[in-house]
């Protein structure tokens, strides 16, 4: 069994999050979540997005779109974005 980290404990709502002040990143992501028309963008992209078939199924369209926006907003490469998603609870909540 892996030892639980503080980040994992915070995600599990174990009390660390009760008195947490939102960071600038949290506020930015909440604002962008409200401003960006996710459903309309997904409707435009859906006809061109790969469908599940043989092999590994593609990641969900809205999730991939949110990851793409995170990469653009925070100037992250693919690997850096993956690491940021592992490290940052606010990014995980957004995606």
- The domain segmentation of the chain, as residue ranges, is 22-47+60-95
**Alpha-carbon distance values, 51 to 28, 59, 78, 86 (Å):** 32, 10, 22, 26
* Cα 76 from Cα 66, distance rounded (Å): 13
Residue 23 pLDDT > 70: yes
Q: To the nearest whole number, what is the mean pLDDT of the chain?
A: 85
How does pLDDT run across 42-70, given as a tens digit for each residue? 999 999 888 888 788 888 899 999 999 99
Residue 56 is predicted with a pLDDT of: 84
pLDDT of residue 46: 92
């Amino acid at each position: 069994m892996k030892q639980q980290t503080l980040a994992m404990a915070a995600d599990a709502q174990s009390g660390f999050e009760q008195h947490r002040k939102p960071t600038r990143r949290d506020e930015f992501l909440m604002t962008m979540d409200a401003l960006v028309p996710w459903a309309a963008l997904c409707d435009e992209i859906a006809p061109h997005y790969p469908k599940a078939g043989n092999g590994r199924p593609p990641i969900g369209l809205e999730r991939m779109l949110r990851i793409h926006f995170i990469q653009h907003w925070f100037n992250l490469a693919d690997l850096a974005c993956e690491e940021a998603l592992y490290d940052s609870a606010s990014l995980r909540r957004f995606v």
